[in-house]
Amino acid sequence: MKHLLAPALLALLCASPSFAQHKDFELPTMHAARGTRGALASGSEYADEAGMRIYYHGGNAVDAGIAAMFAAAVSEFSHFGMGGEAPILIRTKTGKVYAIAGVGTMPKLATAKFFMEHRPRPGEILTLDPGGLKGIIPVAGILPALVPSMVESGLVALRDFGTKSFSEEIEPAIELADGMAIDETRSGAIARSRRFFDLWPDSKKTFLPDGRVPLPGEIFHQPNLARTLRGMAAAEKKALASGASRAAAIDAVADYFYRGDIAHRIDAFSQANGGLLRYDDMAAFKLQPEEPVSSEFHNYKVYKPGFWSQGPAMLEALNILEGYDLRSMGFNSADYIHTVTEALKLAYADRDTYYGDPKFVKVPEEVLLSKAYAAERRKEIGHMASQDFLPGMINGKRGKHPTEMDIARTKIDDALMASDTTCVDAIDKDGIVFSATPSGAWLPSVIAGDTGIALTERAQQFILVPGSPNELAGGKRPRVTLSPTIVTEQGKPFLALSTPGGDNQEQSLIQLFFNVVEFGDNAQSAVEAPRFQTRHLVSSFDNHAWNRGDLLLDERIPPSVDAELAARGHKIGIRSRWASGAAPVMIRVTGDGVIEAGADPYGYRVAHAY
């Protein structure tokens, strides 16, 4: 619905870069949250409240972000659970940026051969073809479980960059596990998972108390998870009582989880239920902060996780698009959407061909992120939409794209598109920046016995193609879609942004970035603006399908633009702003030092500042 603006207000808006580019202006549904001391944006009110509580008690952005993340693991169980993943980026007060690779490893018992020969059982994939399928990694059940990584990722971030104790950080999460008013999103997700829970008694006991779906507004209890969290806090307190330092006491929490009672109980549950995860997998899992990857776009430096994620694809696309005058094309014009889409197609073709766990495969990182490589890739963008999958030339050779290999293929159904993830971003007055994309262990999830911990389904992001950098192997990490983002401007903190959305994450985030730096949006208008998405890529989920030439457009994009893009060969689909395939949040630091947070209202995101 368009709004009539008073002449004075209209004149003011027209004078701003944002209004000059957004030809079809629509007032945002809410204002950005603004403050001078700190801001936090996340996937729910519960998570944001937990983080803001830490801010109010003197915590920094990392403290606030970690508290929000643990609270989300308890309260946003439709999208993310305690046994899931959490890639994190952190900028310190001194300006150094670190990545924490919060992605678990595949159990060492797992092999590609096992899954190639495995006939999916009920509850392991979303649909079963007649006679059953082979060569598909289950998308649900116990077999796609990796080592839980979010806990280790959060503890490392807290230990090395936070100031609070684990006990302080976990208190809001424990309160939520003791009992919280359930919302419509969680109630609906449980209702859709009912048949799955019949296969897993501990999940049924957790999510269907008294044998029924909890209704919105009812109090939902997770007593087993609350007991586990209290045990973790007790491990820290015991270490402190024995004279351990703050850091050593946080390490004691990790030992309790990965090398103590919790690991043994997860091992016993996995063995009893045909899983592959074992105590030794848990015990061996340790993380340390590492270097992120980055690239410059004009005056901005964009940081992403490494090639174990799809994050570098956004950097590749930025390098390609740096050679265009996007601003002059106009916001969401046909030229703009076409150019950005074609650059993303090229970047995703590289992702699908070259990316994988750098501990197992040699990724040509320096070439892929070089400006010279981007200049060559730019030449492959034409006036018409490409229908081909075109990985770039590396040392004179073009890699073999998965579409050329023997891989299960089918048209992607929107109902199968995984977007079950959340997001947490924080920036404080000292320039400390936290960006995370927590995910995994979404509904329908397997609860590991009486631990209350939901196990992840992340192994489905491997592919079963011999020789692929992302081929499944024991001890290896899948190339994940999870991709937090930090942006600096001339070395100073500028943006933190992340989103759920699977393969759509880089596509949504690059548009938010351009909305701010090219079209003058604030944080809230940037996340609310209409977006587009291509599925001209190999899906990272389910049976890894693809849609050549696909382009999905927000319903608010003018029909004339839709028609022009269709004439250029794009296969157009129109979708509601409520079903954009992503739900981002963003925090921006203005030139005056105001910390401004925006949250996508169409994905029920939340932002606060103080």
pLDDT at 548: 92
35 vs 403: which has the higher pLDDT? 35
State pLDDT tens for residues 8-64: 333 333 334 444 455 455 788 999 999 999 999 999 999 999 999 999 999 999 999
| Single pTM value for the model | 0.93
pLDDT at 547: 87
Tell me the two tokens of residue 593: 């030092």
For residue 7, name the pLDDT band (cuts at 50, 70, 90).
very low
Q: How many residues does the chain have?
A: 610
Tell me the two tokens of residue 115: 């899954």
332 vs 1: which has the higher pLDDT? 332
Element (H, E) at 470: none
State pLDDT tens for residues 537-568: 988 887 788 889 999 999 999 999 999 999 99
| β-pair type (571-575, 550-554) | parallel
Question: What type of residue sits at position 332?
Answer: N
Per-residue pLDDT, averaged over 159-179, amounts to 98
Half-sphere exposure of 135 (CA within 13 A, CB side): 11
Per-residue pLDDT, averaged over 506-525, amounts to 97
Element (H, E) at 229: helix 223-241
pLDDT at 44: 97
pLDDT at 134: 56
Q: Cβ distance 433 to 486 under 8 Å?
A: yes
33 Cβ contact partners less than 8 Å away, ≥ 6 residues apart: 39, 41, 596, 597, 598, 599, 607, 608, 609
Neighbouring-strand partners of residue 352: none
